[in-house]
Structure 1
Amino acid sequence: MNNIDKLIYPQNGRRKNIFYSGKGGVGKTSMACITAVQTAKKGFKTLLLTTDPAAHIGNVLDKPVTDEITKIDGLENLYAVKIDQKKAMEDYKNQILEDVRGKFDENTVKAMEEELNSPCTEEMAAFQKFIEYAGKEDFEVIVFDTAPTGHTLRLLELPMDWSKQIQLKARLSAGISEADKEQKEKFDKVIEMMKNEEETTFSFVMYPEKTPIIEAYRASEELKTVGIKTRMIVANMIIPEEQAVTSFFKNRRNMQLKYLEEIKERFNEAVVLPVPMYERQIKGMEMLERISYNIFEKESL
């Protein structure tokens, strides 16, 4: 079994969680879809989940994807879901306000409502949904297509903000409710899961160019501070050697190969997976199955 196999397939009967992060537009969604198709093909019941409000997993799969877990036609074992942040926020707010109405006076409830109308609450609501899906026991692999890097880092800091909201509720009601304790336990469990290298592969997707490398390196160093190691780097959009026939493309490919070496140097604890540029947009199950075979089963570049 090669290093990549260990990073994408479940080991020792434990579920595998694969996170793809990186700046917007580098190919995270395509890479998440390709990986989910590969693990499903290998017989693992797989959930493809996006936390990115701008994600287009439905377009890449060429199948409808909603905020309910849906089986994807055309491939056994593949399911997909997207987190609808606006809907999640409304549900989350209503749940909290429902809890405090009747216990406190109107002014206190209004103050809480105002406090809940913040971007932080929207992130919290999405995180709560993320926790709900990440805690599901009935999948052998979950592939997370995350929002751009900054959002992913915020996602990991959210339990701190969540604790503040809990403290606010505790001050008002002189104690933390059982439901809050249960939620806190779920949060802690998922954060621990993300730190467990046997269960989780955290990956950055990037182009082999200077700025994306520096940005991803900074983000990976920040992740280290919360105990999460970067295990895999996807160097995307590499010009295939057989296509580098003009001086322009030869120069571009040589530049990419130079940066590929820098990626290997900087992220020396991670496995680097080079992924070629394709001549057309990645779309549909047939193309995804072919690419997943080329990337994960054939010899890489």
Structure 2
Amino acid sequence: MSRLETAIYPQKGGRKNIFFSGKGGVGKTSMACITAVETARKGFKTLLLTTDPAAHIGNVLDKPVSDKITAIDGVENLYAAKIDQKKATEEYKQNVLKDAEAKFDANTIMAMKEELDSPCTEEMASFQKFVEFASLEEYEVIVFDTAPTGHTLRMLELPMDWSKQIQLKAGVSTEISEEDKKQKERFDRVIDMMKDENTTTFAFVMYPERTPIIEAYRASQELMTLDIKTQLVVANLIIPEEQAISPFYKKRRGMQLGYIEEIKDTFKDAELLKVPMFEDEIKGIDMINSISDRIF
């Protein structure tokens, strides 16, 4: 197996989780869809997940995607679902507060509500949903189109569930329930899985310009502190050589080639996947199949 094949296909009857990360607008969702279609075509039962509230994977696949796992017509072995962040966050808040209201006074509950309004809560709630999906045994590949940040993963490494952290910040302490312990065990299993290079691939998508490279490098360094290595980097939106005819596009392509060298130097231990810019919007299974044949 080549390094690229090792990064995207399960090994020896195992499982593969692929997380696509990167700043907004670099093409994470398109790459997640292309990769999921590729693994499904190779015969691996694949689940494609997104936390994008607009369910952009549905636009790229040109198929309906809901918060329930749905088989994707036209691609055998491919299933998809969107994690509804708003719904997941509300459920998460309700569960934390329901548990707390039986134990604490109104002032403590008020302090906890304020703490639950932080952006971290949304990430935690989404990740909790991901943990539910990642615990499903029947999928050989799970492709996730927005990776959790190092910040979220670090919180999960704390010795107790996030809701307990909120209680501590609110100035109260309580015993960890059996349910919390089970949840923590599930989190720990998934985090261990994410650290296992044979099981999980963290991929950063960027277009070949300085800002996306810097942002991806910083995020990859943060993940390194958690023993999670970046195994795949995607240089997206490269102007094809045959299209670099005018002085403007020649100059832009020359600049991109320079930054591709910088990506190679910056992410020495990762496999580099180069993806050209296409004249049409990436949409529909036929186009995704064609791109998949070209880049993999």
Report Cα offsets for 1:46-75 as digits up to 9, x if no partner. Answer: 000112335511100111111111111111
Aligned to 1:165: 163
Residue 17 of structure 1 deviates from its aligned partner by 0.6
Distance 1:174 1:207, change over 3 A: closer
1:1-301 to structure 2, matched below 5 A, reads 1-53=1-53, 56-146=56-146, 152-159=149-156, 163=161, 165-167=163-165, 169=167, 174-296=174-296
Residue 111 of structure 1 deviates from its aligned partner by 4.3
SS of 1:81 mapped into structure 2: strand
- Indicate if the aligned counterparts of 1:41 and 1:75 stay in contact, CA closer than 8 A: yes
SS of 1:37 mapped into structure 2: helix
Unmatched runs of 5 consecutive residues or more in structure 1 = 297-301
State how far apart, in whole Å, the 1-side matches of 2:71 and 2:44 are.
14
SS of 1:60 mapped into structure 2: helix
Equivalenced residue count is: 293
If the length of structure 1 is used for normalisation, what is the TM-score? 0.90
Residue 98 of structure 1 deviates from its aligned partner by 2.6
Report Cα offsets for 1:215-260 as digits up to 9, x if no partner. Answer: 2112111111111101011000111111122222222212211211
RMSD: 2.0
Distance 1:88 1:179, change over 3 A: same
SS of 2:149 mapped into structure 1: helix
Residue 5 of structure 1 deviates from its aligned partner by 0.9
- Indicate if the aligned counterparts of 2:115 and 2:166 stay in contact, CA closer than 8 A: no
State how far apart, in whole Å, the 2-side matches of 1:145 and 1:259 are.
24
SS of 1:52 mapped into structure 2: coil
- Indicate if the aligned counterparts of 1:238 and 1:274 stay in contact, CA closer than 8 A: yes
- Bigger mean CA offset, 35-44 vs 237-246: 237-246
Unmatched runs of 5 consecutive residues or more in structure 2 = none
- Indicate if the aligned counterparts of 2:55 and 2:65 stay in contact, CA closer than 8 A: no
State how far apart, in whole Å, the 2-side matches of 1:163 and 1:200 are.
23
- State percent identity of aligned pairs: 66
- Bigger mean CA offset, 212-221 vs 172-181: 172-181
State how far apart, in whole Å, the 2-side matches of 1:189 and 1:242 are.
48
Residue 99 of structure 1 deviates from its aligned partner by 2.4
Amino acid at match of 1:157: R
Residue 155 of structure 1 deviates from its aligned partner by 2.7
